[in-house]
Each structure stands twice: as structure tokens, then as C-alpha cells.
Structure 1
Amino acid sequence: MEAAIDRIMMTYDLLLNRTAAASADARAKVTAYINTLIEAGEKDTHRLTVCGLTYLRQLDGTNDPVKAGYTGL
């Protein structure tokens, strides 16, 4: 689990320039989320990493095409 969380945070920190406090907050949230996935039976480290990154992107809104500036035109 720790390897997946470290990989998630390393990749996420490359995507966004955030403060140390924001990074610590994101780590706490993704750790709780990954624990939920593990309790549900997920064991694949790569899948946990992808799910964790998707979760963080949904939290900060970068996964929303409208917020990213896409209007569909």
C-alpha cells in the first residue's frame, strides 16, 4: 500500500505545483481512499495507483473538462 501511495504522490506532485500543506492534505485523503479500496479487496499496486490519481484529480477539479477550459465548440 505504501508503495502505491508514494507513487501516487510523486506523480501528482509532478502534475501540480502545490504547497507542502496541500500535499500533506492530499496524501491523507488518498491514503484513506486507498485503504478503502484495499479493504474492498483490491490488491494490484498499479490499479491502486491509477485509482488514487483519478481520485485526487476529481477532488481538485482538474478532471472536469469545463473547468479545464473545454467548451465543446
Structure 2
Amino acid sequence: MEAAIDRIMLTYDLLLNRTAAASDEARAKVTEYLRTLVEAGETDTHRLAVCGLTYLRQLDGSTDHVKAGYTGL
């Protein structure tokens, strides 16, 4: 699980320029989320990394196309 978390945070930090405190908060949230997935039976590190990154992007709103500026025009 730690390998997946490190991979998630490395990728997420490349996507967004955030403070150390924001990065620590994101790490704590994704750790809890991945713990839930692992307890549910997920063991694939790559799948955990993708799910964790998707989770963080949903939290910060970067997967919302309207917030991202895509209007469809």
C-alpha cells in the first residue's frame, strides 16, 4: 500500500502546485481511502494507485469539466 501511496503523491504533486500542508492533508485522505480498498480485498498496486489518484482529483474538483473550463463549445 505504501508503494501505491508514494506513486499517487508523486503524480499528484506533479499535477498541482500545493503547499506542504496541503500535500500532507491529501496524503492522509488518500491513505484512509486506500486502506478501505485494501480491506475490501484490492491488492493490485497499480489499480490502487489509479483509484487513489482519481479519488484525490475528485476531491479537488479537477475532474469536474465545468470547473476545469470545458464548456463544450
Q: Distance between the aligned counterparts of 1:72 and 1:12, measured in 2?
A: 26
**Equivalence for 1:50:** 50
Inter-partner Cα distance in structure 2 for 1:70 and 1:14: 21
Q: How large is the RMSD of aligned CA atoms in angstroms?
A: 0.4
2:68 aligned with 1:64, yes or no?
no
1:63 Cα deviation (Å)? 0.4
User: What does residue 36 of structure 2 align with?
Assistant: 36
* Equivalent residue number for residue 27 of structure 2: 27
TM-score for both structures, normalised by structure 1: 0.99
How many equivalent residue pairs? Answer: 73
Q: Deviations over 1:17-47 (max 9, x none)?
A: 0000000000000000000000000000000
Partner amino acid, structure 1, of 2:46:
H
Q: Which runs of 5+ in 1 are unaligned?
A: none
How far apart, in 1, do the equivalents of 2:9 and 2:70 lie?
A: 26
Structure 2: 5+ residue stretches without partners: none
Calculate percent identity across the aligned residue pairs. 84
List structure 1 segments (4+ residues) > 4 angstroms apart after TM superposition: none
- After TM superposition, the score normalised by the length of structure 2 is 0.99
